[in-house]
Amino acid sequence: MTDPHTDHSPTPAERAARAAEALRAAEAAGAQAKARPAPPPDATAAQAAPDAKEGAAALAELFAEAGAPAPLAGRAAARLGPGAAAALRADPWRLLRVPGVAPAQADHFARRLLGEGARPDDPRRGRALVLHLLIEAAREGHTVTPAADVAAALQRIGVPDPRAAVEAALDEAEVLALTEEPEFDEDSVEEADPPEPEETLGPARWALAEEAAAEGLRRLTLTAAPLLDDAAVRELRSGLPEDRSLALTAALRTGVSILRGAPGALERAALEIASAAAGRGVRAAVVAPTDRAAADLARDLPGGEGGGPPVTSLHRLLEPRADASAAPGAVVYGRGEQNPFDLDLVLVTAAAGLDVELCAVLAEACADGTHLVLCAREGDAPPAGPGRPLEDLEASEAVPVVTLDAPPPGDPLGALTAAVRGGELVAVDAPGREVVVVPAADPGEAVHRAVQLVTDSIPRALGIPLEDVQVVTPAAGGETGATALNAALKARLNPGPGKFAGMDPGDRVVVAAPLPQAAVGETGVVLGGGAHGLDVEFPGGMATLSPAEAARLRHGWAVPVALGRGTPRPAVVAVMSGEGLSRPVVATAFGLARRHLSVVQAAGPALARAVRDVAAPARRTRLARLMMG
């Protein structure tokens, strides 16, 4: 193990060798099962391995001793596992792995446990802060961060020797050093010295996912053969418009392709391609983000539900299963490299929502020769998790991209969404109240109007039942965020003390982090709970969640756009304030409405400015380079 205080600074080549060695070790360890998303295994916690009840008691005792907030114990148990108390006693700065914990809080926790032994130059502190900074960057979508930026941030938060902190993190193998070659500029002066490669750092979790995604997608491209002969393809293409003909040809002849289009038209094209292929004996499936979305899509199949190829959720297709040996927070899937899908053609709707981990799992679960079509609405927001697989794939120019011609909007909802995707916020004529704009002077009025729309106006005036109405907002926090809206909606719709993990029977919930029982973004209704866990009715059936699993739920009457994006609803109430606005976010929110959209306009002129001028923030990723390599 490298001494974190040594004066030796590894060269880029040494770092690349270390990264490669870590990649090979992780690939070997992961050959038997794939999990997503999986925090790095906590060795200290694994050594202790008490049962959940003993672990909870030990954690409560530890937090009381350190004066830490009791509610934090549930989040710590969910992230660190049953051995959380032992892990935190051995290394108090592991508390930074728990979402929402800031460096100052972890330092305070360490001082309460270690006293004078809690030093600023403690290697445990340094490596925890490096990982914390990289995970914070990942929450903004980045898979890598320049090493110089990490060093500067470490200095700002009082780490005496940033280089030693980075070395300590690298020695733990949870952080990888990666060398990024600079872009070649043909117009640069020949005599000028070429720029030095940039050293970046990334959590091993996402670095490995990008490697696996690139490897899997390249494999599908290289092993693909036409699914039908030329005569059959020509027959299927006969009479189709040029854009549909190109989309069908790409799906049947290439291993990986991207299909872009407008809401509605894109999903219809995916169903038509799958149905046409299935009619010629191709094993095809259409895959949606959630069970609820899959059920809605199945009803739109040519010939009706049950009249064509299977339509399912990606979560269900991957066959999640319980695995006691999995790391805390991991979902283990039965489908993967050793047990791929029994399919020739997979069409994934709402693929813009795939983060790099789920993209890697999907690619690895496709057998050699499987054709994968990634369908995405034009202008959709990037995924909630790290990475931007779809944009990286397109930027790599390694796969064909087909864009469907935009049909003339057939209704006010389509006209508004199309205008937003084009950068304009327009007023639309909606005689059937398909679109209603409700001004709000301040956040308090915005919350009040949203509650009024959900509980009274939409069900009464439009006949759309409460269970078919979804509130969406750009962010979780803030005065008009999902948390504030859910508090107001619960008080009106289902008041209660939150007896079971903060929930009461009748509460609508949404999956905020992956569960074996349901995908991220899936909504359900709480049936009850007790010592055994929380009982929730999801679209796929009733599930009992352990207390640690229940911590991955949030109230779901209102959801951030990132969680609601995969499941269109008959009626959507979009609460727009000044927080988190961009053209992709607004377009995605408005595009979720199937019959009716109420826009609670609390942003004033900022909404039109965001639609006109604000793109999705750039993300630092590696997948495009890996695909070209």
Distance CA 251, CA 224 (A): 11
DSSP state at residue 238 = T
Bridge partner list, 553: 511
Asked whether the beta carbons of 206 and 386 are under 8 A apart, the reply is: yes
Exposed, middle or buried, 239 (CB in 10 Å: 0-12/13-18/19+)?
exposed
**The residue to which tokens 């929730």 are assigned:** 536
Asked whether the beta carbons of 177 and 207 are under 8 A apart, the reply is: no
Pairing mode, strands 284-288 and 311-313 = parallel
Exposed, middle or buried, 340 (CB in 10 Å: 0-12/13-18/19+)?
middle
And the tokens for 440?
Answer: 């709000």
Bridge partner list, 200: 146, 178
Cα distance between the two ends of the chain: 31
- The pLDDT score that the predictor gives to residue 325 is 79
- The pLDDT score that the predictor gives to residue 410 is 82
What type of residue sits at position 417?
T
**The residue to which tokens 């979508």 are assigned:** 141
For 13, 290, 574, the CA distances from 127, given in Å and listed in that order, are 22, 37, 41
Q: What angle do CA 288, 139, 485 make, to 5 degrees?
A: 70
CB atoms within 10 A of CB 206: 27
User: Which residues are CB-neighbours of 83 under 8 A, at least 6 positions away?
Assistant: 42, 44, 45, 46, 47, 48, 49, 50, 55
- The pLDDT score that the predictor gives to residue 286 is 97
Coil, strand or helix: which one is 180? strand
- The pLDDT score that the predictor gives to residue 327 is 78
CB atoms within 10 A of CB 324: 5
- The pLDDT score that the predictor gives to residue 182 is 63
pTM value surpassing 0.85: yes
And the tokens for 335?
Answer: 């489908």
Nearest to 452 by CA among 435, 475, 431, 469: 469
Residue 479, sorted as left (phi over 0), alpha (psi -120 to 50) or beta, turns out to be alpha
The segments of the chain whose pLDDT lies below 70 read 1-53, 181-195, 303-307
Exposed, middle or buried, 81 (CB in 10 Å: 0-12/13-18/19+)?
buried
For 86, 175, 203, 204, 325, the CA distances from 172, given in Å and listed in that order, are 18, 7, 11, 10, 21
Distance CA 60, CA 246 (A): 60
Hey, which bits of 453-555 come out as E strands?
469-473, 508-511, 523-530, 533-538, 541-545, 553-555
And the tokens for 241?
Answer: 């418009």
Strand order in the sheet with 145-146: 145-146, 198-203, 175-180
Q: What is the DSSP string of 319-333?
A: -EE--TTSPTT--EE
Coil, strand or helix: which one is 472? strand
Largest alpha-carbon pair distance within the chain?
79
Q: What is the DSSP string of 109-158?
A: HHHHHHGGG--TT-HHHHHHHHHHHHHHHHHTT-S-EEHHHHHHHHHHTT
C-alpha torsion sign, points 295, 296, 298, 304: positive
- The pLDDT score that the predictor gives to residue 323 is 82
CB atoms within 10 A of CB 563: 23
CB atoms within 10 A of CB 124: 18
Strand order in the sheet with 558-560: 435-439, 593-601, 569-576, 469-473, 558-560
- The pLDDT score that the predictor gives to residue 181 is 66
Q: Which residues of 373-402 are buried (b: 16+ CB within 10 A; e: fewer)?
A: bbbbbbbbbbbbbbbbbbbbbbebebbbeb
- The pLDDT score that the predictor gives to residue 301 is 78
- The pLDDT score that the predictor gives to residue 223 is 98
- The pLDDT score that the predictor gives to residue 407 is 84
And the tokens for 524?
Answer: 């359900």
And the tokens for 613?
Answer: 């001028």
Report phi then psi at 457, rounded to 5. -60, -50
Distance CA 466, CA 130 (A): 46
User: Which residues are CB-neighbours of 60 under 8 A, at least 6 positions away?
Assistant: 70, 73
